[in-house]
A and B are shown apart, each in its own frame.
Chain A
Amino acid sequence: MRLASALTMALLASVAAAQEGERGRMLYETHCGGCHYERVHDRLRSDIKDLADLRDAVAKWAPQTKRSFTPDELEAIVEYLNASHYRLGLPPRGAQRELIYGAQLMSVKEREAYRQRMAAAKGAQAQHKLRVEHRERMRQRARQRGVELTEPSGVVRQ
């Protein structure tokens, strides 16, 4: 019984986290995209070193939107950005199955080469560098082909 209630609580917590992430994504896309692209969060030399830095940065830039955000809304944006880009305190993306950014614009051979490069990269930093460079190449390719990629997944927008 205890196990069942613990499992229920864990499930509810994960559902709540997913909802929070979705709310953060909506807020981010609605209010932040007017001034900058989402790629600003992919900088190799980022000033954001921990969650406190990320919270400070979100709070610092939020007033530029001329909209006032509640603390809960700011936290939702922080959670979204952390889950989608920064991964502070979260397992590195490489530990999960990663959707290859712009995969639909790549050939089978290119996707295989990407997997091999990622597997050969030593450490999370090297993988992050490869990922950032790859995203930039795919963005250029998307522009050349006249298609738009959704952020942060890199799926071609229908």
Chain B
Amino acid sequence: MRRAAAFVLVLWPLAAWPAGDAVKGETLHQSCLQCHGTEVYLPPKRKIGSLAALRRETARWGDYYNPKLTKSEIEDLVAYLNRDFYRFP
């Protein structure tokens, strides 16, 4: 039981890590660039303070599109934004 708990604790951070494809995310990001530049991801305009918040905000904007972003596309975008801008652990 203890071993199982330790296993879960070790894998927990991996579950939060962006599992998407940053290269696909960069392509998807072209849609975002029609309205804003990447300056919104950098201080002092940056508003997002954690990976969970980045995922939430990406999903929120994903639902503003037609077609809506799929869950895997959201993960791709999160992976790209975190790789190139946010760098949350």
Contacts and interface: CB of A to CB of B under 8 A. Distances in A.
A153 B36 CA distance: 10
A111 B69 CA distance: 13
Contact of B64 (A96, A99, A118, A150): A99
A155 B28 CA distance: 19
Contact of A97 (B35, B63, B65): B65
B63 A99 contact: no
Interface string B61-84: 001111111000000000000000
A122 B35 CA distance: 28
A88 interface: no
Contact of B31 (A97, A118, A150): A97
Nearest to B65: A97
Interface majority SS (helix, strand, loop, mixed), chain B: loop
Contact of B35 (A104, A114, A155): A155
Contacts of A98: 65-66
Given A96-B31, A99-B31, A99-B34, A114 B66 contact: yes
Contact of B67 (A97, A108, A153): A97
A41 B31 CA distance: 21
B35 A99 contact: yes
Task: Give the interface size class of chain A.
Answer: 10 to 19
Given A153-B35, A155-B35, A97 B64 contact: no
B66 A115 contact: yes
Contacts of A114: 66
A100 interface: yes
A5 B68 CA distance: 36
A48 interface: no
Nearest to B62: A97
Given A97-B28, A99-B34, A118-B66, 10 more contacts: A97-B65, A97-B67, A98-B65, A99-B35, A104-B64, A111-B64, A114-B66, A115-B68, A150-B35, A153-B34
User: Sorted from nearest, which 10 A-B pairs have the closest CB atoms?
Assistant: A103-B64, A153-B35, A97-B31, A115-B66, A98-B66, A97-B65, A100-B66, A100-B64, A99-B65, A118-B66
